[in-house]
């Protein structure tokens, strides 16, 4: 795909907006449709588009596999860590009421953090899977 | 009424796309049609009020999984051979199972019934109390992240595990995977040795086991 | 009679799609075709769940003062996560297909059976 000028220019224009949209979906998921799962997939699709148009080598420079694979685990740890934070504050596992000053504030904070964890894992997992399939020799 | 018509039209399109996927031999066309199928399913979910689900299905089904399948097609080839065996037995099995399931649907509550058991158990609690308990307008997010937090933690772990498993399968270079790639040959050596070794242990059992393997 | 059809049409289509998916998995020999068949099967299950959560006259479960009737949010949550898990497991299946192709040189089921019989 290296010689398709239209694809290169259009994807360069689109990728920032795809990422911005992913962040919007991630943090606006409390109020409208969206959340960590969708945002993760959209964020991953930005990297996958970059990899398809500009080649796997360049995509690996933008998102180094060593970092991405660690992010897969980091998301799960963020999620479970939020659960343990509630445990340490004297409530049940994954009970967010105690995380903030008021129960509803705590719920907001807890949901924001775990949705971020979900988004991280999903995005990193999808990018990792794409790198592995695309990097396989014929 | 217009909603019912949209509903029926989308479902009919989905059925037609599924049959086209079944009949086509060109795997590239099959993968493209499965992307269209996912997009139709996403539209259907919007018509059924499941906007979050539609969002996910459109991003995942029409986006990521189509890209993954095309990447795999470039590694494996894109023609399907004609099936070697007759389709009669699968057709009988599928028809019987389908008939049993359709018979079972007559016991299901009517489509859109607000008093169906599924709508009476926990859903009213989520819809009436989640604003006071969690404080988010999007009930799906409240249930996903707060009421059913354990469930979602499990799902995220499944995604993590799948990513790790794909890494294990495809992570190494092609060819340097001695254990996996040479396995059929090692097996054949082991099979050749078996009759010499085993009769001492278990003369009656081994030949039948080997025969079963050979015919299967 | 028409009422019975309208009340159950969604369920019937879900069953028909499920059976098309099952038939693809059982009757077709190509492993990628089988995975596409599994995806059709999976989507029909999603459709069945979402259909059960629909309430006539309801709207999407995002709370607002202007609405009083909402569809059931619980099936949405279950299916939302199932879709993403579904693509992760599809990727795992495709990875297995790639490894089978590298080891055996084919992804057609009957050729694989022959190769397994020889060795």
- Residue A122 contacts residue A42 (beta carbons within 8 Å): no
Res B4: pLDDT: 86
Contact C95 A122 (CB under 8 A): no
Q: Chains with 3 or more CB pairs closer than 8 angstroms to B?
A: A, C
- Please indicate whether, in this complex, the C-beta atoms of A133 and C88 are within 8 angstroms of each other: no
**What are the phi and psi torsion angles at B24 (to 5°)?**
-70, 145
pLDDT average, residue stretch C70-93: 93
Q: Is the dihedral of CA C77, C79, C83, C88 positive or negative?
A: positive
Supply the mean pLDDT for chain B.
Answer: 81
Cα–Cα distance, A38 to A99 (Å, whole number): 25
CB–CB of C80/A36 below 8 Å? no
Enumerate residues 9 to 38 of chain C having a beta carbon within 8 A of any beta carbon in chain B: 9-13, 15-24, 26-30, 32-33, 35-37
pLDDT at position A11 is: 92
Largest interatomic CA distance in chain C: 70
Q: Please give the residue that has the higher pLDDT: either C66 or B183.
A: C66
CB atoms within 10 A of CB B115: 9
Closest CA to B47 of B81, B78, B92, B14: B14
Q: How confident is the model at residue B96 (pLDDT cuts 50, 70, 90)?
A: very high
Give φ, ψ of B25 to 5 degrees. Answer: -100, -25
pLDDT digit string, tens, across residues A80-135: 999 999 899 888 898 898 888 899 999 999 999 999 999 999 999 999 999 999 98
CB contact under 8 A, B174 and C50: no
**Which pairs count as long-range contacts for C39-45, CB under 8 Å and 24+ apart, including other chains?**
C39/B34, C39/B61, C39/B65, C39/C86, C39/C90, C40/B18, C40/B21, C40/B34, C40/B37, C41/C17, C42/C82, C42/C86, C43/B37, C43/B38, C43/B41, C43/B57, C43/B61, C43/C17, C44/C14, C44/C15, C44/C17, C44/C18, C45/C14, C45/C18
In sequence order, which ranges of A63-102 are alpha helices (DSSP H)?
65-88
d(CA B28, CA B31): 5
* Band of residue B202 on the pLDDT scale cut at 50, 70, 90: very low
* pLDDT, position B198: 42
Identify the bridge partners of residue B138 per DSSP, sorted by sequence position: C62
The residue assigned the tokens 């495709």 is C94
The stretches of B48-148 forming alpha helices (DSSP H) are 51-59, 65-76, 88-105, 123-133, 139-142
Taking residues B13-24, what's their average pLDDT?
94
Q: Given this model, what pLDDT does residue B99 score?
A: 96
C110: pLDDT strictly greater than 90 = no
What does R_g of chain A's alpha carbons equal in angstroms?
A: 18
Quote the CA–CA distance of A124 and C14 in Å, as a whole number. 33
Interchain pair C85, B37: CB under 8 A = no
C29 touches C108 (CB < 8 A): yes
User: Which pLDDT does position A122 carry in this prediction?
Assistant: 95
Work out the average pLDDT over C33-40: 94
What is the band of B183 on the pLDDT scale with cuts at 50, 70, 90? Answer: very low
- Chains contacting C with at least 3 CB pairs below 8 Å? A, B
- Region C11-17: mean pLDDT is 94
Percent of chain B whose predicted confidence (pLDDT) is above 70: 80
Which of chain B's residues have a Cβ under 8 Å away from the Cβ of C29?
80-81, 83-84
pLDDT tens profile A66-80? 999 999 999 999 999
C-alpha count within 13 angstroms, C-beta hemisphere, residue B168: 10
pLDDT of residue C4: 87
Question: Taking 70 as the threshold, does the pLDDT of residue B178 lie above it?
Answer: no
What pLDDT does residue C119 have? 60
Q: How do residues B31-72 score in pLDDT, each as one tens digit? A: 999 999 999 999 999 999 999 999 999 999 888 999 999 999
pTM: 0.86
The most confident of the ranges B117-131, B177-191, C13-27 is: C13-27
CA distance C52 to chain B (A): 7
Rounded to the nearest integer, the mean pLDDT of chain C is: 91
Higher local confidence (pLDDT), B114 or A15: A15
Q: Where are the domains of chain C?
A: 2-118
**Helix A103-134 with B65-76: angle, nearest 10 deg:** 20
d(CA B194, CA B188): 10
CATH no. for C2-118: 1.10.287.3510
> Which strand (E) or helix (H) includes residue B191?
helix B183-197
**Confidence band of B197 (pLDDT split at 50, 70, 90):** very low
Which residues, including other chains, have CB under 8 Å from residue B53's CB and lie 6 or more apart?
Answer: B45, C46, C50, C76, C79, C80, C83
Dist CA C23 CA B24 (whole Å): 14
Tell which of B134, B157, B177 to mutate to test the A interface (max A CBs under 10 Å): B134
Token pair recorded at residue C23 = 């038939």
**pLDDT of the residue at B19:** 95
Given a contact cutoff of 8 angstroms between Cβ atoms, the answer to whether B113 and C71 are in contact is: no
Dist. CA A121–CA A37, nearest whole Å: 9
List chains touching A (3+ CB pairs under 8 A): B, C
Distance in angstroms (rounded) separating the CA atoms of residues C59 and C72: 9
Task: Assign A29 to helix, strand or coil.
Answer: coil
pLDDT at B211: 42
ipTM over 0.90: yes
Least Cα distance to B18 among A53, C23, C31 occurs for: C23
- Please tell me the predicted confidence (pLDDT) of residue B192: 42
Distance, C-alpha B109 to centroid of its chain: 26
């Amino acid at each position: 795909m290296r010689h398709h000028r239209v694809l290169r220019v259009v994807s360069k224009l689109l990728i920032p907006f795809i990422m911005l949209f992913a962040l919007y979906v991630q943090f606006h998921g409390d109020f409208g449709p969206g959340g960590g799962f969708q945002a993760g997939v959209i964020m991953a699709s930005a990297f996958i588009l970059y990899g398809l148009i500009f080649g796997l080598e360049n995509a690996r420079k933008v998102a180094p596999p060593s970092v991405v694979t660690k992010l897969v685990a980091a998301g799960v740890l963020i999620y479970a860590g939020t659960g343990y934070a509630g445990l340490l504050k004297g409530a049940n596992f994954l009970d967010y009421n105690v995380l903030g000053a008021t129960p509803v504030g705590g719920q907001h904070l807890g949901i924001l953090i775990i949705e971020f964890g979900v988004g991280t894992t999903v995005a990193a997992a999808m990018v990792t899977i794409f790198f592995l399939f695309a990097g396989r020799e014929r | 009424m217009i909603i019912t018509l949209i509903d029926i039209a989308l479902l009919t399109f989905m059925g037609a796309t599924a049959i086209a996927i079944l009949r086509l031999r060109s795997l590239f066309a099959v993968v493209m049609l499965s992307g269209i199928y996912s997009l139709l399913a996403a539209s259907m979910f919007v018509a059924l009020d499941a906007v979050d689900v539609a969002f996910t299905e459109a991003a995942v089904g029409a986006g990521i999984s189509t890209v993954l399948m095309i990447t795999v097609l470039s590694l494996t080839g894109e023609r399907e051979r004609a099936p070697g065996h007759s389709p009669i037995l699968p057709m009988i099995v599928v028809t019987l199972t389908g008939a049993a399931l359709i018979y079972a649907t007559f016991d299901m509550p009517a489509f859109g019934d607000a008093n169906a058991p599924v709508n009476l158990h926990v859903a009213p609690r989520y819809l009436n109390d989640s604003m006071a308990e969690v404080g988010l307008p999007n009930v799906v997010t409240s249930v996903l992240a707060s009421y059913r937090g354990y469930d979602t933690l499990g799902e995220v772990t499944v995604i993590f595990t799948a990513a790790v498993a794909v890494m294990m399968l495809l992570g190494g270079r092609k060819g340097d995977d001695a254990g996996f790639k040479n396995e059929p040959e090692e097996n054949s050596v082991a099979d050749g040795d078996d009759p010499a070794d085993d009769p001492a242990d278990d003369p009656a059992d081994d030949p039948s086991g080997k025969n079963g393997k050979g015919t299967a | 009679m028409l009422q019975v059809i309208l009340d159950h049409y969604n369920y019937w289509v879900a069953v028909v799609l499920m059976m098309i998916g099952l038939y693809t998995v059982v009757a077709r020999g190509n492993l990628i075709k089988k995975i596409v068949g599994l995806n059709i099967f999976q989507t029909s299950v999603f459709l069945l769940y979402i259909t059960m959560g629909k309430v006539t006259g309801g709207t999407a479960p995002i709370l607002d003062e202007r609405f009083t009737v909402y569809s059931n949010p619980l099936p949405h949550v279950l299916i939302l996560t199932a879709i993403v898990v579904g693509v992760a497991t599809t990727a795992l299946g495709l990875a297995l297909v790639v490894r089978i192709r590298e080891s055996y040189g084919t992804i057609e089921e009957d050729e694989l059976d022959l190769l397994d019989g020889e060795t």
